[in-house]
Amino acid sequence: MSTENATTTTLLSPQDLLKHWQGHRGLTRRVIEAFPEKELFEYTIGGMRTFAQLVMEIIDLTGPGAKGLATDDWGPKDMPHITGNNMPVTKAELLERWDDTTTELETYWPQIDDFEKSIIAFGQYPGTALSMALYFIDNEIHHRGQGYVYLRGLGIEPPFFWDRP
């Protein structure tokens, strides 16, 4: 049909998607910073994980995930967010891991040579490189949104959701 999305056939380059993700990552970092030290590791609602644990999941998916998408080496399966071992115990440590992950993402993302290729992420989740990258990003937004509720539950105003320069 002539009216169907006539002039644009493709939307995003890999670089565009990385930039979009990095905007989200900057916001998530500010949400981590907004938590008081103690509550970051202890506060929960309804039996959920702490925000530190949710963030560790994001870290575990982002760094090793980008590496896996680029190299098909998905690393060890006993990641901190699964085993609880090797977890950071201070906000400063968590932020340091966060920043190391940013470096990993920036290193490996440009090496992903085909976003349509079939992969089995972490040896168990089938998809394409693109569907998995979108999953990682969506998962970050999802858990960060939960962090917003934790902050509100603690009486703390979260950063603006739309502020992702």
User: Taking the alpha carbons of 93, 94, 95, 96 in that order, is the dihedral positive or negative?
Assistant: positive
CA distance 68 to 77: 12
Residue 144 DSSP label: H
1 binds a copy of itself (CB under 8 A): yes
Q: Which of 42, 110, 126, 163 lies at the binding interface for a copy of itself (CB under 8 A)?
A: 110
- In 1-117, where do the E strands start and end? none
Binding mask 135-154 for a copy of itself (x = CB under 8 A): x--xx-xxxxxx-xxxxxxx
Binding mask 20-59 for a copy of itself (x = CB under 8 A): x---x--------------------xxxx-----------
- Asked if residues 52 and 95 have their Cβ atoms less than 8 Å apart, the reply is no
Residues found near a copy of itself in the complex (CB under 8 A) = 1, 3-17, 20, 24, 45-48, 109-116, 130, 134-135, 138-139, 141-146, 148-155, 161-162
